[in-house]
Structure 1
């Protein structure tokens, strides 16, 4: 088992709230939208608002999650890069979302190694199962190609906000279909 302890990071630092805010204030929503617009003006990519965990290189396990506030900034950046602004409907859709997306990159030596992979949260001994899990059916070549690990794939899960504590230290564990597991410890209370 590979276990990685990390403090989640994001460039989304100006919002004063900490933890995964399931019900952000009007002020927090506006700050998130403004940050997305400013990011587009700097030509920064929307993914700078992803909350990342794990390794920062191309050959080790890593992942990201998207909270409601980071999702607003991502959307605002995408739209501002196209010269448009999010509508009230766009904002409401994100704010009323019931799930948080978590994506983890895993590595293997077979083209289809990620098929059947699974992901869970553990918070103080309580296992939280995702609402949905999807994975790359065909992996892409890793930076190590043709050496091991030869392939890289994503496992993406959506977790219902009502099922987990948005303020808890959380272990995110991915179970590749071919066996083994990889874990990340992320302190949700430190996400901002």
Structure 2
């Protein structure tokens, strides 16, 4: 049961759909992490491309029959839209998940598979939800980072650097209160925050520097090649 609750919590963050919306269609098993092969961030998707993205998320989850299988699918998929440090190798390195349109659609596909198993019949995402994703003007970026006290990320800001161009976000959500890291190595706390960048404001094929600004003047930055993200 705890595992299922984790999946649902991750799903709400990934797809940006309200609880009321899910109640209306009876889909409670959404799985969060997006996958897909790497070609470049898709700013525009046709209906056919959207359906293919749904299928790309649905098929692996249809084949996952145990919680361990599901975990492996999610771990594999998470690599496709993460930029920056690899959490497996550098747990406290700054990294980000890019919630692109394809990311969200493939998450919907995994949800379809999970709910179909639960109801023992084919369940598909309502067309209005698919259209909402296809028409989204902004890409959400969730940044994960570490610091020395539980409020270290309070007031952080973010920008993208592409060549000589600096791209500012449409908005930035307040950072979470830091959670205690396990083990005694590295910073004591980890936190995360989200920012939204207008698709029209950045080059979806460019090598990009992600810069995080702290109120005390410190910065953290890492490279992100958008041409390798869908």
TM bucket normalised to smaller: 0.7 to 0.9
Deviation (angstroms), 1:69: 1.1
Instruction: Give the alignment of 1:22-33 within 5 angstroms.
Output: 22-33=43-54
**Aligned match of 1:104:** 143
Deviation (angstroms), 1:67: 1.2
Q: Against the structure 1 CA distance between its residues 54 and 25, is the aligned structure 2 distance closer, same or farther, given a 3 Å change threshold?
A: same
Deviation (angstroms), 1:144: 3.6
2:181 and 2:187 in contact (8 A); partners too: yes
| Structure with more strand by fraction | 1
**Aligned match of 1:80:** 113
Deviating above 3 A after TM superposition, structure 1's stretches of 4 or more consecutive aligned residues are none
Q: Aligned pair 1:55/2:85, yes or no? A: yes
Structure having greater relative contact order (Cα 8 Å, sep ≥ 6): 1
TM-score, normalised with respect to structure 2: 0.71
Query: What secondary structure is seen at the aligned counterpart in 1 of 2:173?
Result: strand
Query: What secondary structure is seen at the aligned counterpart in 1 of 2:86?
Result: coil
**Aligned match of 1:71:** 104
Q: Against the structure 1 CA distance between its residues 134 and 144, is the aligned structure 2 distance closer, same or farther, given a 3 Å change threshold?
A: farther
Deviation (angstroms), 1:101: 0.8
The one of 220, 225, 230 equivalent to 1:182 is 220
Q: Aligned pair 1:161/2:163, yes or no? A: no
Deviation (angstroms), 1:11: 4.3
**Aligned match of 2:40:** 19
Deviation (angstroms), 1:120: 0.5
Structure 1 stretch displaced more, 92-101 or 169-178: 169-178
| Structure with more helix by fraction | 2
Q: Which runs of 5+ in 2 are unaligned?
A: 1-33, 65-69, 117-122
Q: Give the RMSD, CA atoms, in angstroms.
A: 2.1
1:36 and 1:46 in contact (8 A); partners too: no
TM-score, normalised with respect to structure 1: 0.84
Q: Which runs of 5+ in 1 are unaligned?
A: 1-9
Q: Against the structure 1 CA distance between its residues 150 and 102, is the aligned structure 2 distance closer, same or farther, given a 3 Å change threshold?
A: same
Deviation (angstroms), 1:26: 3.1
Mapped partners of 1:47, 1:159: distance in 2: 26
**Aligned match of 1:6:** none
Alignment size in residue pairs? 179
1:138 and 1:153 in contact (8 A); partners too: yes
Structure 1 stretch displaced more, 153-162 or 48-57: 48-57
Query: What secondary structure is seen at the aligned counterpart in 2 of 1:82?
Result: helix
Deviation (angstroms), 1:76: 1.8
Deviation (angstroms), 1:48: 2.1
